[in-house]
């Protein structure tokens, strides 16, 4: 079992539901080859640096996953046959690469959490300030 990173570009004219569906399909493809998804990033619609199959935009998906060693060519073939994927790239990751990715993700999540807490407290203080203003007006 090795770690891999798949970057997939989906057709730009999909809506949210279709993107969700294709993510499910891709998950099933990966699990078919004995792999599991470790992390999935949906980057949304991005402008491509050059035209790919006449498309100027594309939906980017960045997936960190595991896969059975001999199955990668078959996985790539499956990506090729899936009509919503216009371009793909599969990269093998060393142990330290995946560790770095995961620690980075954990850090980002922690940061987001603390920021969320901060914003909540900020809102509270703001609300309190507003109440104070209202109270002053009524007086």
Partner 1 sequence: MKNPTKKKRNLFTQKICRFCSDKIQFIDFLDIKLLKPLISERGKIVPSRISGNCARHQRQMTEAIKRARSIALLPFSEEH
The residues that touch partner 1, with contacts defined as CB under 8 A, are 7, 9, 48-52, 58, 62, 87, 89, 91, 100
Give the SS3 label for residue 79.
Answer: helix
Question: Minimum distance between the CB of residue 26 and partner 1, rounded to whole angstroms?
Answer: 16
Closest CA to 3 of 126, 90, 61, 89: 90
CA 8 to each of CA 24, 62, 107: distance values in angstroms, whole numbers, following the listed order:
14, 7, 25
Specify the residue, 17 or 49, whose C-beta has the smaller distance to partner 1.
49
Specify the residue, 49 or 133, whose C-beta has the smaller distance to partner 1.
49
Specify the residue, 100 or 117, whose C-beta has the smaller distance to partner 1.
100
C-alpha 58/C-alpha 44 separation (Å) is 8
User: What DSSP line would sit under 97-137, residue for residue?
Assistant: HHHHHHHHHHHHHHHHHHHHHHHHHHHHHHHHHHHHHHHHH
Question: Minimum distance between the CB of residue 7 and partner 1, rounded to whole angstroms?
Answer: 5
Specify the residue, 46 or 117, whose C-beta has the smaller distance to partner 1.
46
Question: Minimum distance between the CB of residue 91 and partner 1, rounded to whole angstroms?
Answer: 7
Question: Minimum distance between the CB of residue 14 and partner 1, rounded to whole angstroms?
Answer: 17
């Amino acid at each position: 079992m090795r770690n891999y990173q798949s970057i997939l570009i989906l057709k730009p004219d999909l809506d949210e539901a279709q993107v969700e569906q294709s993510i499910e399909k891709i998950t099933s493809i990966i699990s078919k080859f004995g792999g599991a998804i470790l992390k999935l990033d949906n980057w949304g619609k991005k402008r491509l640096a050059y035209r790919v199959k006449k498309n100027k935009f594309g939906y980017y998906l960045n997936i960190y996953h595991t896969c059975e060693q001999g199955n990668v060519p078959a996985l790539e073939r499956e990506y090729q046959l899936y009509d919503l994927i216009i371009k793909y790239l599969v990269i093998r990751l060393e142990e330290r690469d995946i560790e770095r990715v995961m620690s980075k993700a954990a850090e980002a999540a922690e940061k987001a959490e603390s920021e969320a807490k901060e914003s909540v407290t900020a809102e509270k203080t703001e609300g309190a300030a507003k109440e104070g203003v209202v109270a002053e007006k009524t007086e």
